[in-house]
Amino acid sequence: VIEHSRYQESKRIAIFLSMPDEIQTEEIIKDIFKQGKECFIPRYKPHSNRMDMLKLSSAEDISSLTLTSWNILQPSDDDSAREEALAGGGLDLIFMPGLGFDKKGNRLGRGKGYYDTYLERCMKHPSGKPYTIALAFREQICESVPVTENDVQVDEILYEDC
């Protein structure tokens, strides 16, 4: 990931904070700050499909986040001091999680459409749609995954031996 040309070229990067069954992103987050890039993480709105990408000030800033009922760390609902990526310069790159992927770029998420809805909002931003990279285990690559007309394909899927 760190050697990837899209990562190297990007200044404003959104990345998920890993759940135990996902690719671990902690070292990537540390490198984002080491390289002087800006790091944004998701804040999910429960009972909706709205997600915002909020700016982290440092890798250590993660320890100040609250744990949701889904066991995900994220900025609290009343945290209004953080920049939302689309309120500023947009994003260059989004690293995305998922449950399954196919080689056509289709992604099976957890069913709420958070990333698809967020990417639709990105397309309306002056900076346009960011490049998207899904981080996966080899075992998550399927022949095909079910999709709907609202699903947005990922630009690239990175997994072991790809």
Which CATH number goes with the domain that contains 109? 3.40.50.10420
Closest-CA residue to 46 (of 64, 24, 23, 69): 69
Range of the domain at 144: 5-159
Is 114 annotated as a binding-site member?
A: yes
Is 36 annotated as a binding-site member?
A: no
Is 89 annotated as a binding-site member?
A: no
- Determine how many CB atoms are found less than 10 A away from the CB of residue 92: 19
Is 159 annotated as a binding-site member?
A: no
CA distance 57 to 55: 6
Residue by residue, pLDDT tens for the chain (162 residues) are 999 999 999 999 999 999 888 999 999 999 999 999 999 999 998 788 899 999 999 999 999 998 887 788 999 888 889 999 999 999 999 999 999 999 899 999 887 889 999 999 999 999 999 999 999 999 999 999 999 888 999 999 999 875
153 and 135 Cβ atoms separated by less than 8 Å: no
Is 109 annotated as a binding-site member?
A: yes
Is 138 annotated as a binding-site member?
A: no
Q: What is the pTM of this model?
A: 0.94
Structure tokens at 157: 């899927």
Q: What CA dihedral angle connects 23, 100, 109 and 6, to 10 degrees?
A: 60
Is 112 annotated as a binding-site member?
A: yes
Is 86 annotated as a binding-site member?
A: no
Count structural domains, the chain.
1
Is 108 annotated as a binding-site member?
A: yes
